[in-house]
Amino acid sequence: PVKGPRSVPTHERALEAVRAPAADVDGFVREFLRELNFGQGVSLARATVNDQYLALARTVRHYLMARWLEAIAHQRREPVKAVGYLSAEYLLGRQLDNALLAADLEGVVTDGLAQCGLSLDTLREQEEEPGLGNGGLGRLAACFIDSLATLSVPCIGYGIRYEYGIFRQTFVDGRQVEQPDTWLALGSPWEFPHPESSQPVNFAGHTETFVDDDGSERTRWVPEWGVIGVPYNYMVPGYRNGRVNTLRLWSAQATKAFDLSIFNGGDYVDAVRAQTFAENISKVLYPEDSTPQGKELRLQQQYFFVACSLADFMFEVLDKDFDLTRLPERIVFQLNDTHPVIAVPEMMRLLVDVKKLPWDQAWEITRQCFNYTCHTLLPEALEVWPVDLLRRLLPRHYEIIDRINAEFLADVRARFPGDEMMVRRMSIISDYPERGVRMAHLATVASGRVNGVAELHSQLLRDKVLPDFSRIWPEKFTNVTNGVTPRRFLRHANPSLSGLITEAIGDGWVTDLDKLQELEPLAGDASFRARFREVKRANKSRLVNLLRERDGYELPVEPMLDVMVKRLHEYKRQSLKLLHIVTLYDRIASGRVAASQIQPRTFVFGAKAAPGYWMAKETIHLINAVASTVNSDPALEGVLHVAFPANYNVTLAETLIPAADLSEQISLAGKEASGTGNMKFALNGALTIGTDDGANVEIRRLVGEDNFFLFGLLEPEVADLSAQGYVPSSFYESDDELKRALDLIAAGAFSGGNPDTFAPVVSNLLHEDRFMALADYRAYLDAQARVDAAYADQDAWSRSAILNVARCGFFSSDRSMRDYIDRIWHTDPVS
Ligand code: T68
């Protein structure tokens, strides 16, 4: 019998709207214990921390579920144009706290768990973060989908459910050793597999022409093998607005037909091998960032997730009989870099071969459905697929690309008769050094809009990377400066500062970050500054405790905390940071400066190197070597410390960034497309020392030049110096301190006297130095001296830090999303 005021037959109850459990302590405890007992199958008394964590995660999901189902139902009832964000990477970070924050459950959960004798702090540590991305590009995708949900804009994030995400970094004798990231091993409570919505994906084979029923000649693809894509859905909750969007990640599975036939033939070993082969596609995230790794498996991954995603949207999300000529009214696909660009010929194939639309009409639709974001300036980072490979793996797609190119080049020739050089430069298919498909060109030709990720980057993209394209289609090119989600990177990561801000100006800033401007007058208030300093100090001691427990570092809380966290790359110039540290060390060790004369600093690095990037790995070894020398010198106790916690990831960033005083953003001008770490630090009240590069330019303009330490060559100066012929050794010869620092490393001061250990790093800087670290060394040291002087006046420093917070509202990813919506997508929120 159903208890309650009204007796409702069971079947009718089932039809009622899904209800969240009561959002009070009792309601939570009931639901949590039910999950523990019936979902996890254990009693509270016998439950492990992992059982408790899994039950908690599932309980929290229940609170979001009704909204999620409603969002899906609403989109079916009253469809509006949605964003299809196509990204090979999503660097999500932990989910539990984000969900608690979005659903406003932290208080209830803390109290409810306490009633069960459990602590939220312990359970949250149990979560393995889904590290399905390499760095900035993947993290940006995660910030963007968070903001779209918070803005109530329908979005489906499409990507790959890698079984192994970005490798877990360990250090052995100071060298990076990669371990597999087994993020799924203890269960993955945030995902919902939907095998019934699987999509078949084909590869290889050949194409053939045939005469259709209506007498027309058509092409069909006769593939050789295929796999199945199984979707796993994740909730993307908006911040306290009742909106929950979907992230749909695809996992590869062997087809039944594929292995059954072999099984029936009696060859079990071969059948299993076939399965392994198919499932390899979503096995592992490529840990190479910035440069494409020209591997067949990578192209398979790209096509796999894009084919699943387009079919999913066009034939599952939309009704099967939807009039595809109206597709642009319902979806706009954003290409997150070139990785998903194979979606362009795939859409053409679906429209022309499968749906039998005329080519021109299909092209018109396709062009209205895609836009492309470029995330790099390094020419070697633009993907080019060898024609032979593409043709073998995706023969029909190659034909389609070839026709797109032929029509595009005919257009170029018509506009610029006789300019065959231009035709060659612009061609989607290049002839040299081998025949290859330039994915950035294909993306640009097919897209309505092409954008860079910061003002400087977008300008260089137009003028240097794609100049011919911007000449023929100036209106295609636009800028959208990156942003970061204030929910994760301020509200969640920095509860102390969030509390102080909210006390001062209310909590509207969480969804309207421009409101931080209201803090500006408080920068002039001595008591507010004192409280701001207390917050910073508390965040530093939180970090010091974490690094003691996590990595065994013993660090003082008092010194300035100077942080450089990002992927290890020559262009980002961790080596320049090292030269600064080695110089400080040398000044004291040589007696030129007394330890007591130095502004005490703790340097923190966090960086993963691509496993195949040798020079980056040598640099990691050198950072660790310098760290152990500096940290074990008793004369430097309390003066200089260097920490390099292994396995920098989103979770570590959340404790590190709020503690920082100084943010290192020191790439060679013209190389960092934007940077987003730079925004997170400034928003958390660190001052930046940085070059005139990427979004640093905009940060400095907004926070004011007095509150930013600028140094180094400007981009045009870099270009000039390059053109003249850059000779790094001339800087070494003419700067005594630089010479001493490099000589010290070369002499083995950090390698137990062994001069060979770091000879390659030294020689690379001295004779090659592609990113001009030596040219910027003196300017960098001078800027660091200005930092020291400024930090000596703590009151003035905190004034600048508060102004950084107050003036960084622009860098909310909510603003980035509004820019995409207004200038590129033209989508509307749902109420
Ligand atoms: C980064 N790119 C940019 N790439 O370097 C950074 N590449 O300036 C920018 O802020 C950020 O994108 C967001 O726009 C990357 O992170 C990759 O991770 C990557 C991954 C695979 C292949 C190539």
What does the block give as tokens for 457? 């980057």
Q: Is 451 in the pocket of ligand 1 (CB under 6 A)?
A: no
- pLDDT tens per residue across span 174-189: 999 999 999 999 999 9
- The CATH number of 79-93+129-169+177-482+818-825 is 3.40.50.2000
Pick the CATH number of 558-794 from 3.30.2320.50, 3.10.105.10, 3.40.50.2000, 1.25.40.340: 3.40.50.2000
Q: Is 573 a catalytic residue?
A: no
Strand partners, 225: 203
- The Å distance, Cα 137 to ligand 1 centre, comes to 4
Report how far residue 693's alpha carbon sits from residue 592's, in angstroms, rounded to the nearest whole number: 34
Of the pLDDT bands very low, low, confident and very high (cuts 50, 70, 90), residue 9 is low
Nearest-CA neighbor of 281 among 392, 163, 135? 163
Q: Is 238 in the pocket of ligand 1 (CB under 6 A)?
A: no
Note the pLDDT of residue 255: 87
Catalytic residue, chosen from 567, 569, 587, 608, is: 567
Indicate the average pLDDT of the chain.
96
- The Å distance, Cα 288 to ligand 1 centre, comes to 10
- The Å distance, Cα 748 to ligand 1 centre, comes to 35
Residue nearest to atom 15 of ligand 1 (CA): 137
Q: Is 340 in the pocket of ligand 1 (CB under 6 A)?
A: no
Report how far residue 513's alpha carbon sits from residue 530's, in angstroms, rounded to the nearest whole number: 23
What does the block give as tokens for 418? 């006789």
Choose one of 288, 375, 693, 811 to mutate for the ligand 1 pocket test, by most ligand atoms within 8 angstroms of C-beta: 375
Please give the full DSSP string across 333-373, using - where no structure is assigned. EEEESSTTTTHHHHHHHIIIIIS---HHHHHHHHHHHEEEE
Choose one of 290, 301, 336, 565 to mutate for the ligand 1 pocket test, by most ligand atoms within 8 angstroms of C-beta: 290
- Residue 11 confidence (pLDDT) above 70: no
Q: Which helix (H) or strand (E) holds 319?
A: none
Catalytic residue, chosen from 62, 168, 375, 536, is: 375
Q: Is 383 in the pocket of ligand 1 (CB under 6 A)?
A: no
Give Cα separations from 90 to 50, 158, 815 (angstroms).
24, 9, 20
The answer to whether domain 79-93+129-169+177-482+818-825 and domain 558-794 are alike in fold is yes
- Residue 2 confidence (pLDDT) above 50: no
Report how far residue 674's alpha carbon sits from residue 484's, in angstroms, rounded to the nearest whole number: 12
Contact, 523 vs 799, CB < 8 A?
yes
- The Å distance, Cα 301 to ligand 1 centre, comes to 18
Q: What sign does the CA torsion over 82, 248, 230, 201 have?
A: positive
Q: Is 136 in the pocket of ligand 1 (CB under 6 A)?
A: yes
Q: Is 453 in the pocket of ligand 1 (CB under 6 A)?
A: yes
Of the pLDDT bands very low, low, confident and very high (cuts 50, 70, 90), residue 5 is very low
Which atom from ligand 1 is nearest to the alpha carbon of 339? 22
Note the pLDDT of residue 215: 92
- The Å distance, Cα 58 to ligand 1 centre, comes to 33
What does the block give as tokens for 483? 């942003």
Strand order in the sheet with 429-430: 384-386, 436-438, 429-430
Choose one of 86, 89, 137, 679 to mutate for the ligand 1 pocket test, by most ligand atoms within 8 angstroms of C-beta: 137
Of the pLDDT bands very low, low, confident and very high (cuts 50, 70, 90), residue 320 is confident
- Residue 4 confidence (pLDDT) above 50: no
Q: Is 256 a catalytic residue?
A: no
- pLDDT tens per residue across span 683-735: 999 999 999 999 999 999 999 999 999 999 999 999 999 999 999 999 999 99
Q: Is 237 in the pocket of ligand 1 (CB under 6 A)?
A: no
Give Cα separations from 642 to 348, 633, 789 (angstroms).
54, 11, 21
Q: Is 540 a catalytic residue?
A: no
Residue nearest to atom 2 of ligand 1 (CA): 137
- Residue 12 confidence (pLDDT) above 70: no
What is the predicted ipTM?
0.99
Catalytic residue, chosen from 492, 566, 641, 671, is: 566
Each domain of the chain, given as residue ranges in start order, spans 1-77+95-128, 79-93+129-169+177-482+818-825, 558-794
- pLDDT tens per residue across span 522-553: 999 999 999 999 999 999 999 999 999 999 99
The alpha carbon torsion through 437, 439, 443, 446 (nearest 10 deg) reads 10
> Please, what is the angle between helix 106-115 and helix 49-77, to 10°?
150
Residue nearest to atom 21 of ligand 1 (CA): 289
Spatial CB neighbours of 555, under 8 Å, sequence gap ≥ 6: 544, 547, 548, 602, 641, 643
Note the pLDDT of residue 259: 60
- The Å distance, Cα 519 to ligand 1 centre, comes to 32
Residue nearest to atom 6 of ligand 1 (CA): 675
Residue nearest to atom 13 of ligand 1 (CA): 137
Query: What one-character DSSP code corresponds to residue 639?
Result: T
Report how far residue 274's alpha carbon sits from residue 390's, in angstroms, rounded to the nearest whole number: 22
Contact, 29 vs 109, CB < 8 A?
no
Q: Is 371 in the pocket of ligand 1 (CB under 6 A)?
A: no
Single pTM value for the model: 0.97
Report how far residue 303's alpha carbon sits from residue 118's, in angstroms, rounded to the nearest whole number: 45
- Residue 502 confidence (pLDDT) above 60: yes
Note the pLDDT of residue 764: 98
Q: In the chain, pLDDT over 70 holds for what percent of residues?
A: 97
Q: Is 567 a catalytic residue?
A: yes
- The Å distance, Cα 342 to ligand 1 centre, comes to 19
Q: For the ranges 1-15, 215-229, 503-517, 792-806, which has the lowest average pLDDT?
A: 1-15
| Strand, helix or coil for residue 517 | helix
Q: For the ranges 260-264, 508-512, 591-595, 798-802, which has the lowest average pLDDT?
A: 260-264
Q: Is 375 a catalytic residue?
A: yes
The H helix count followed by the E strand count for the chain is 33, 25
- The Å distance, Cα 601 to ligand 1 centre, comes to 30
Which atom from ligand 1 is nearest to the alpha carbon of 133? 18
- pLDDT tens per residue across span 77-103: 889 999 999 999 999 999 999 999 999
Q: Is 688 in the pocket of ligand 1 (CB under 6 A)?
A: no
Report how far residue 142's alpha carbon sits from residue 654's, in angstroms, rounded to the nearest whole number: 15
Report how far residue 141's alpha carbon sits from residue 336's, in angstroms, rounded to the nearest whole number: 8
Note the pLDDT of residue 271: 76
Parallel, antiparallel or unpaired: strands 168-172 and 477-479: unpaired
Choose one of 289, 291, 697 to mutate for the ligand 1 pocket test, by most ligand atoms within 8 angstroms of C-beta: 289
- pLDDT tens per residue across span 591-634: 999 999 999 999 999 999 999 999 999 999 999 999 999 999 99
Of the pLDDT bands very low, low, confident and very high (cuts 50, 70, 90), residue 19 is confident
Q: Is 334 in the pocket of ligand 1 (CB under 6 A)?
A: no
Q: Is 536 a catalytic residue?
A: no
- pLDDT tens per residue across span 209-218: 999 999 999 9
Catalytic residue, chosen from 438, 621, 680, 700, is: 680
Note the pLDDT of residue 261: 66
Which atom from ligand 1 is nearest to the alpha carbon of 291? 23
- pLDDT tens per residue across span 247-276: 999 999 998 765 666 666 777 787 788 888
- The Å distance, Cα 567 to ligand 1 centre, comes to 10
Note the pLDDT of residue 7: 54
Q: Is 233 in the pocket of ligand 1 (CB under 6 A)?
A: no
- Residue 402 confidence (pLDDT) above 50: yes
Q: Is 676 in the pocket of ligand 1 (CB under 6 A)?
A: yes
- The Å distance, Cα 38 to ligand 1 centre, comes to 43
Q: Is 285 in the pocket of ligand 1 (CB under 6 A)?
A: no
Note the pLDDT of residue 270: 79
